[in-house]
Structure 1
Amino acid sequence: MDEKKLCRAIDLFAEVLFEGTEFVQREINQDVFQHISREQADLLTILKIKGPTSPGSLALIQNVHKSAVSNRLKKLLEKGFVEWDESHINHDKRSKHIKITAKGEHIMAELDSAIFQALRKLIDDADEEHLDSFIAIFTILKRKFKGDHTE
């Protein structure tokens, strides 16, 4: 594999993540963020993807201090977007996990819809072949990030 191409691909990936996040923040309807901060939305996204997770793991994933996650969780708990996962608490009283609620799933669906509408404007003219390539590449990356190195 050409190392220069790989470096360029990694740089582009990082730039797309950064620029894409900024674009979405600028473009989406701010009504979606009326009841939730971006950091809280990021936390809900993690819970949506990973499922019930401990506050310590959330802090590691978000690369913030546990107190920051505790504050975010407190606000999300008050709003009814997350709750303690009783199934995990019963198995190990020392290990508490938090999970997204139906109300949290609903706000995430609103956010996902707003993001889709914002990004759709950018890629409406993309042809099927490019879209298929994009899906294939990101499917491979996702699988490899999760430790599955089979083709």
Structure 2
Amino acid sequence: MVKDINNHIEFMKEFLNDINTLLARLSVKIREEYQVSKEQANVIRMLEHEKAMSLTEITERQGVNKAAVSRRIKKLINAGLVQWDKSEESMDQRMKYIKLTELGKQFNIESKQVMSDIVGNISNDLSDEQIEQARHVLEIIDQRLKQVNIENNF
């Protein structure tokens, strides 16, 4: 039983490594086209899900210092991918948020298309049932990862 668990753990490590390697290599082309770093691309993807975020929120999510995030944001603003936005909803009108521009949204659309193409190629010979089974297991893993992130304040 322990040997099986160790094999499963090794497989998951290899699987996650393969995914990260593939994503990194695929994203290089689009990042070069938009002239953004991997860290800047992460900010752009974050903003898609959160709509607008403060510098502090981005800093906390990326786990780096505020100066590093400020430099990333400045470069993204200069590239026309994000912009500062004063929130109408905030009580503190001094609070500024960063949001995507149309160009930043286009970056995310193109990034997603690359992923869709890869997923289509990888899964084209699987049955609908196999795809549903895989999705079910991946959803369970995803929920557990999210819980670990919450428990560890990530």
Task: Please say whether Structure 1 and Structure 2 have the same fold, judged by a TM-score greater than 0.5.
Answer: yes
Aligned-pair CA distance for 1:11: 7.3
Aligned-pair CA distance for 1:76: 0.9
State the partner residue of 2:22: 23
Equivalent pairs, count: 144
Q: Contact between 1:29 and 1:114, CA under 8 Å: does it hold in 2?
A: no
Whole-angstrom CA distance in 2 between matches of 1:54 and 1:98: 6
Alignment RMSD (CA, Å):
3.1
Secondary structure at the counterpart of residue 83 of structure 2: strand
Whole-angstrom CA distance in 1 between matches of 2:93 and 2:10: 42
Equivalences for residues 42-81 of structure 1 within 5 A: 42-81=42-81
Relative to structure 1, is the Cα distance of residues 102 and 37 closer, same or farther in structure 2, using a 3 angstrom cutoff?
Answer: same
* Greater mean deviation of Cα atoms: 136-145 or 122-131: 136-145
Whole-angstrom CA distance in 1 between matches of 2:9 and 2:51: 30
Whole-angstrom CA distance in 2 between matches of 1:89 and 1:70: 23
Secondary structure at the counterpart of residue 125 of structure 2: coil
Whole-angstrom CA distance in 1 between matches of 2:9 and 2:95: 39
State the partner residue of 1:39: 39
Which protein, 1 or 2, shows the higher relative CO under an 8 Å CA cutoff with sep ≥ 6? 1
Amino acid at match of 2:69: V
Q: Which runs of 5+ in 2 are unaligned?
A: none
Whole-angstrom CA distance in 1 between matches of 2:93 and 2:14: 42
Q: 1:19-49 CA distances to partner (integer Å, 9 max, x unpaired)?
A: 2121122245714532222211111111111
Whole-angstrom CA distance in 1 between matches of 2:70 and 2:119: 32
Whole-angstrom CA distance in 1 between matches of 2:89 and 2:14: 40
Q: TM-score, normalised by structure 2?
A: 0.72
Secondary structure at the counterpart of residue 52 of structure 2: coil
Secondary structure at the counterpart of residue 99 of structure 1: strand
Amino acid at match of 2:29: Q
Q: 1:80-130 CA distances to partner (integer Å, 9 max, x unpaired)?
A: 211122225863134322111221111111111122223433222222112
Equivalences for residues 92-107 of structure 1 within 5 A: 92-107=92-107
State the partner residue of 2:122: 122
